[in-house]
Structure 1
Amino acid sequence: MKPTDKRFWNRCGNAVNELFFWLFIAFAVLLTIDLWCMLATAIVCLFDSGLKSLTLLKIFGAYGIILILFSNFTLWLTMYSPMIYKRLVSVIWSKRLRPLYFLTLGYVNVYLLNLYYIRFRYSQYELTQYRVNVIYSVLVMFPIINIPVYIAAIRSNEQQVSLGYAAKLYMQGRLATYLIQKDYSSLINDGNEQ
């Protein structure tokens, strides 16, 4: 196979996308472990105000921020691959997310918001070169702080969702899932066009 062959470069691109997808999975799993360790350490800190447990909580917090950045960055790189995006969105459509909500302490909603809003708001080039609204690309990574991104996603949605119903879904941790399931066919069609 010649290096100028288009199929060769497509295969290389698919291999790189798969690599970043598995890196995303690895970082997401490590983040989940870190979140549970941080929760356990916070509970210990409530009953024992020792310096060791507080230091451990700070270490888990620092690792958590690093893992949040890496997991979101690798998701941003992989979600522009139509094959991987379709695989991720089909999991959401099939409603197999309940264990993920529990395991990730709800952080999976951040990834879902990335898949729903950021992917169609910005191109991959704009996102990786930071030629985007940096406020949204930073806010989206952190729960509760990402409420303005949810509001922007709801406003950009063709079929409006009432504020009360959106707030109810957000409190239940199902707003991003609802938005993706509601626009599933258009998201898949848009993904195939890109």
Structure 2
Amino acid sequence: MKLTDKRFWHSCGNAVNELFFWLFIAFAVLLAIDLWCLLATAIVCLFREMGKSLTLLKIFGAFGIILMLFSNFTLWLTMYSPMIYKRLASVVWSKRLRPLYFLTLGYVNVYLLNLYYIRFRYSQYELTQYRVNVIYSVLVMFPIINIPVYVAAIRRSGQQVSLGDAAKLYMQGRLATYLIQKDYSSLTGNIS
């Protein structure tokens, strides 16, 4: 194979990774909008008649689940690109996340847990070909249900985090951020 062919295929791979990264951004933004609409509809449902509001609540809920699946799937595909992974991890390292917590109603923690744990649990081939048990990959998508993934991530980190501190960080929505910031050098150093 010629060197120019290798460069061509490498640039194609980078272009596909960028495409999936921008799809992830688009799905994450749509999910954030959907979560805010879901919250507003739930508030309206509490104080007004439930007929049309309940239908809207169901529509926003179903749309939100679809967007959760698509946004997490595109994140899984992009986080195996070293360049994109370093870019995402550096955002967490630089602590520029406060607006994202508010805008996504805390759902950004799910993406951070994906970045921290799932990438090192499975290879890209195993994850996309379903060659392994992907229970953690499914559990990670849903807040509160993803607590076993947090426990496994804490064990993987090798850091001593007391149960009280972990619970406090989880309730504040900062546990995944804490794990990434404490383990940042090894996370970006493991990238090949």
Deviation at 1:4, TM superposition (A): 6.8
Match of 2:176 in 1: 176
Query: 1:7 and 1:73 mapped to 2: Cα distance?
Result: 27
Match of 2:74 in 1: 74
Match of 2:32 in 1: 32
Matches within 5 A, 1:104-119: 104-119=104-119
Contact 1:3 1:9 in 2 (8 A): no
Contact 1:118 1:137 in 2 (8 A): yes
Aligned length: 191
- Code of the residue aligned with 1:32 in structure 2: it is A
Query: 2:3 and 2:143 mapped to 1: Cα distance?
Result: 44
Q: Which ranges in structure 2 are unaligned for 5 or more consecutive residues? A: none
Query: 1:130 and 1:180 mapped to 2: Cα distance?
Result: 26
- Give the TM-score, by structure 1 length: 0.96
Q: Give SS of 1:142's match.
A: coil
Match of 1:94 in 2: 94
Match of 1:139 in 2: 139
- Detail structure 1 runs of 4+ shifted over 3 Å in the superposition: none
- Code of the residue aligned with 2:153 in structure 1: it is A
Match of 1:127 in 2: 127
Query: 2:61 and 2:154 mapped to 1: Cα distance?
Result: 31
RMSD: 1.2
Query: 1:108 and 1:146 mapped to 2: Cα distance?
Result: 13
Query: 2:187 and 2:81 mapped to 1: Cα distance?
Result: 13
What do residues 85-125 of structure 1 show as CA deviations (whole Å, max 9, x unaligned)? 00000000000000000000000000000000000111001
Query: 1:132 and 1:151 mapped to 2: Cα distance?
Result: 20
Q: Give SS of 1:5's match.
A: helix
Q: Which ranges in structure 1 are unaligned for 5 or more consecutive residues? A: none
Same amino acid, percent of matched pairs: 88
